[in-house]
Structure 1
Amino acid sequence: MNRAKYLAAIFFGTFVYVLLSMTFGQNSLHCYNKMEEQKRLISRQTSDIQNINSELSLELAALQNDRAVIASYAHKLDYVSEGEKLVKITGLRPAQTTLYDTGTVLRHEEPDFISERICKIAGLAFALLFALVFFLYDVSCGNIVLGKNKKPIVTGIPVYDIPQI
């Protein structure tokens, strides 16, 4: 078997390793897409929470400084100031207070991937498989002879044993 066949077997093994590693490995495109999706979900949730925080900050500032807002909250809690008269109406639902939905808890999920060891083993197995196929091809073509059935190799000038007349 010549060197080109060995190199081809090594090339095929390396190609299989790289292909597996890039598509299903730890740093593969599949894992990258999974992580990007998680990043989008986290950034969307973060922006929602920041919006809620800014609304609550405005509400807190209004409750600390604005007398009209303080009075409206006090009225919701059935407080009255001097000179006001309280009228109770029955049969109506109480006012719904605003509940802020901050979403669900997001946990980091590890993407599924094939370990680097398995990728390397698969690449080595393919390299050995191709080397074996090339070796068996050479044996079947007669390029490599196994055992004692070797053809004699003649070097130099061939001498023929021709009977003399």
Structure 2
Amino acid sequence: MTEARHALPRRRLLLAAPVLLLPAGCARAAPRELAVFKTPWCGCCKGWLAHMTRAGFTAQVTELEDLAPVRERYGVPFQLSSCHTAVIGGYVVEGHVPPADVQRLLKERPKAIGLTVPGMPLGSPGMELPDGTREAFETLLLLDRQGRTAVFARHA
């Protein structure tokens, strides 16, 4: 009788063990490899890449004289464009998007095309000035190819 009482909890533990291990063993790691498209003469793109590298991303860089076909391919309208385009984990990342925003995108995995910081806001990653001048800017979640967006993050 004593052995029968202990057999049931052991059996439950053995049956539950694989379920308990699932989150650790099957958790999909966020991608860290960026495919970056930039023009050969853009220095601020190198600055943005330095931020991304410090945050643990690696980049495969392709230099092109015209990024319009790349943006068209990935659904970034001209009015939401910047000076470089990256692709990671099935998302497009346009412009000077902070690394923390990319990390959040990859963690949350929203239904969207990707992120964009249109233009080249002063003080954004890669656009720092020696005197520390910064503009407030927003990272936008690009929802669809028609250019619909939602604010993903605000930066001061």
TM-score (norm 1): 0.28
Higher helix share: 1
TM-score (norm 2): 0.29
Q: Which has the larger radius of gyration?
A: 1
Higher strand share: 2
Question: Which structure exhibits the higher relative contact order, with contacts defined as CA atoms closer than 8 Å and separated by 6 or more residues?
Answer: 1
